[in-house]
Amino acid sequence: MIETKPCPFCGAEHQGRSESSGYFVYCPTCHARGPVMSSMTAAAAAWNAVWEKTRDDPGELEAYRTRIRQAFVDSIRNSGDDEADDPASSG
Ligand SMILES: [Zn+2]
């Protein structure tokens, strides 16, 4: 299993991995999502690619952030179900 880089958006070190509807890596802290891929290995690699790409390029980071936000808005529209999700407070 590929190790995932820290979240490009909030710096959180630990990411979640979802296999429910395609494979993708997500950040439980800020809810950022990596690209949906056909395997978890590819999803982790894609997440790391975002980390590398945005690390030196704030413009790229902002563009990716906008895409994630749009995808999130779309998913809410599609579900129509408002679900409260408390941020994990692990300590
Ligand atoms: Zn994050």
| pLDDT 10s digits, 35-79 | 899 999 999 999 999 889 888 888 888 888 788 778 778 877 877
What is the residue whose two structure tokens read 């408002």? 82
Residue 42 is assigned to a structural domain of this protein: yes
Q: Give me the amino acid identity at 21.
A: S
Q: How many domains does the chain have?
A: 1
What band does 6 get if pLDDT is binned at 50, 70 and 90?
very high
CA of 32 to the centre of ligand 1 (A): 6
Residue 47 is assigned to a structural domain of this protein: yes
Residue 54 is assigned to a structural domain of this protein: yes
CA of 30 to the centre of ligand 1 (A): 4
CB 25 within 8 A of CB 17: yes
Q: Is the pLDDT of residue 80 over 70?
A: no
Residue 64 is assigned to a structural domain of this protein: yes
Give pLDDT, residue 85: 55
CA of 10 to the centre of ligand 1 (A): 4
By CB neighbour count within 10 A (0-12 exposed, 13-18 middle, 19+ buried), where does 27 fall?
Answer: buried
**Residue numbers of the domain that contains 37:** 16-77
CA of 41 to the centre of ligand 1 (A): 20
Residue 8 is assigned to a structural domain of this protein: no
DSSP 33: B
Residue 62 is assigned to a structural domain of this protein: yes
**37: helix, coil or strand?**
strand
Give pLDDT, residue 32: 86
Q: Which long-range contacts (CB under 8 A, 24 or more apart) does 31-35 make?
A: 31/72, 32/7, 32/8, 32/65, 32/68, 33/68, 33/71, 33/72
CA of 3 to the centre of ligand 1 (A): 16
